[in-house]
Structure 1
Amino acid sequence: MSENHMTSHEGESHGSYGSYIVGFVLAVILTVASFATVLSKAFSFWQTIAILGVLAAIQVVVHLIFFLHMGVKSLSQRHNLAAFIVTALMVLIVIAGYLFVLWDAQMNMMPS
């Protein structure tokens, strides 16, 4: 176990123990920050929602980089990243469309 990086049969790096530790520590810090934000009740409802959204987005990026190894170092990693981005955009479009339809239906069904 003298080799610091684990490599696949295609020669792609899969991170080192140090990078896994850094990713784990960052994930724990972000999780604790989320709990602290909610439990402290120092912010209004919408500020808390916004802070949790930002912390969640940062945690997704940490997981993608440190655990799923989505980067732009090799061509296959770029393809994986592009596929992930397209999938995420499609999910966001579906969710936004769903919320719009529900909001529009509610507004049109309200009695005048």
Structure 2
Amino acid sequence: MSSKVLVWTDIVATYAVWVMMTYLTNVWRLDLTHAAAIVNVFTGAAAIMPIGMAFLVDAFVGDYWMLLLSSLAHSLGMSFLAMSTPPVLSHVAGNCSAYKPDCIGDAQKLSSTQP
């Protein structure tokens, strides 16, 4: 059962990254090169992370705890990704609740425009 859940979450994460490119170019109005850089850095980090995680599993943590920790980290990351859209936390972030470039917060603009 747990392998089916992991495969499903991997499919959801892959779809989120695929949609992220369109979100960054249409909603945030980033040019294609900046949006591609953000997506490529994420994809590269996700591709190389299993090497470090395998070392941690073998040397320190163990299979069960690493599965638990990585599942919690994945869920937390997907939650933050979902909440980063303007209407979700607009009253907390102090920006408007529409999908417009003016509604993106200053911290998000700063982190997305650096090469």
TM-score when normalising by structure 1: 0.37
Structure 1 or 2: more strand by fraction: 1
Task: Report the structure number with the largest CA radius of gyration.
Answer: 1
Structure 1 or 2: more helix by fraction: 2
TM-score when normalising by structure 2: 0.36
Higher normalized contact order (CA 8 Å, seq sep 6+, divided by chain length): 2
